[in-house]
Amino acid sequence: MRPRVLAWAAVAAAVPCLALALPPSARAAAPAANDPVALPALRWALAPGEPCTAASQVTAETEPWTVKELGLPGAWQLSDGQGVTVGVVDTGVANGLRALVGRVDGGGKDCVGHGSFAAGVIAGSPLAEGKVDGVASGARVLAIAGTDERGATDPQRLAAGIRAAVDGGARIVYVARALLDGREELTAAVAYATQKRALVIAPATPDAAPQGQGGQPDLTARPYFPAFVPQVLSVAAHGPGGSPPKKAPAPFAPDLSAPGEAVVGIGPSGTGHYLGSGSSLAAAHAAGVAALVLARDPRLTPEQLSQRLVASAYPADVPQLDAYAAVAAVPAPERPHGEPREPAARIAAAPHQQGLRTALFIGGGTLGLVVLVAAGAFVVPRGRDRGWQPADSPPGNGAEAPGP
């Protein structure tokens, strides 16, 4: 079972600082685009005979809500993911994407467009035509086809994709799919990745619910793979304000929640944008933040990297990803020629969430301990009054569950 911890307590234990944040209800829901409804919908698979996804003719002109939600402006002052390779096991990543120019290995054709979209979320650079940012614009992408041309997949394809990404030098492996079967194959592939010091990040649920009785969507919470493998960082989706998407499959014991509704991103060609939703996009955001953190400290093991993202997350029933807190909690690496480290976080230069979600970092030592205790005495009662007290932790991905 994976431990579920309050973010402020875990960060205080890991580094001499304490992060306090406003509750999700206080967040502003910034618009995803100038008119999100006008953006074409992202697909995760194509029907037989359906043509490949064409370039979008609509460009988003407003900064996506996900940028402020994750605290990216502050995180970018500390890291851009440079030096980290993220394996994208998806429908492929198209060649020639301007948002990823010069930073894609293994690119080719992406008929569906999902892999290109996810790669843009993870590592895209903003274009002059729009303000859509990826999370880690300095990271490299290793494109691995984990599906056929139409987006269909199976456990063997995904397992082979994980291994290929690791063999290609990826320290972070993003897997776009969640399957009900494949426990044995995917567990072995994840073990291989972990042995090679690579963290696998996967959606806790599929983007489209499986069919239940009567042809109705089955939204029951159940284990999906590879997310349910203990070493995998399992990510669920939330929308603006922190609420889970409506009519989406319920996640089974996810480790983390990240933006996965009304996400704006690139297509497989052109400079227009698409609008997507689903846990696969939440996992893509988590993979990008993992790249920011790993670039800050490449010595982190997969377990340490995963724990860093969870421990620094905003405390909720499912901890909510916070890029700024995750990156700022990692000490800066040693500079060459014996120069001193830079401060762990430049608070004045990086106001988090433009005042909507603030962070207070308290130094170590006796004074820091006194202030920490005093802050806890004040924050905990207030948090309980406002509904911050978490429910009993659900079983983690290490819990026993029925086989596929």
Radius of gyration for the chain, computed over Cα atoms and rounded to the nearest angstrom: 20
Nearest-CA neighbor of 131 among 262, 27, 271? 271
What's the CA gap between 116 and 168, in Å, rounded?
18
Sign of CA dihedral 161, 162, 168, 170: positive
What's the CA gap between 250 and 220, in Å, rounded?
6
Query: Residue 331 has which token pair?
Result: 């000490």
Q: What 8-state DSSP symbol labels residue 154?
A: -
**Domain extents for the chain?**
7-328
Asked whether 236 and 282 are in contact (CB, 8 A), the reply is: yes
The predicted model scores a pTM of 0.78
- Measured in whole angstroms, the distance separating CA 308 from the mean position of its chain's CA atoms is 13
Per the CATH hierarchy, to which homologous superfamily does domain 7-328 belong? Answer: Peptidase S8/S53 domain (3.40.50.200)
The pLDDT value given to residue 128: 59
pLDDT tens digits in sequence order for the chain, 404 residues long = 344 333 333 333 333 333 333 333 333 333 333 455 589 999 999 999 999 999 999 998 888 999 999 999 999 999 999 999 999 999 999 999 999 999 999 999 999 999 999 999 999 998 756 678 899 999 999 999 999 999 999 999 999 999 999 999 999 999 999 999 999 999 999 999 999 999 999 999 999 888 777 778 888 899 999 999 999 999 999 999 898 888 889 999 999 999 999 999 999 999 899 999 999 999 999 999 999 999 999 999 999 999 999 999 999 999 999 999 999 998 876 655 544 444 433 332 333 332 333 333 323 333 333 333 344 444 334 343 434 444 444 444 444 444 44
The pLDDT value given to residue 231: 98
Nearest-CA neighbor of 46 among 115, 116, 120, 111? 111
Q: Which residue has the tokens 């030098």?
A: 169
What's the CA gap between 26 and 69, in Å, rounded?
11
The pLDDT value given to residue 37: 55
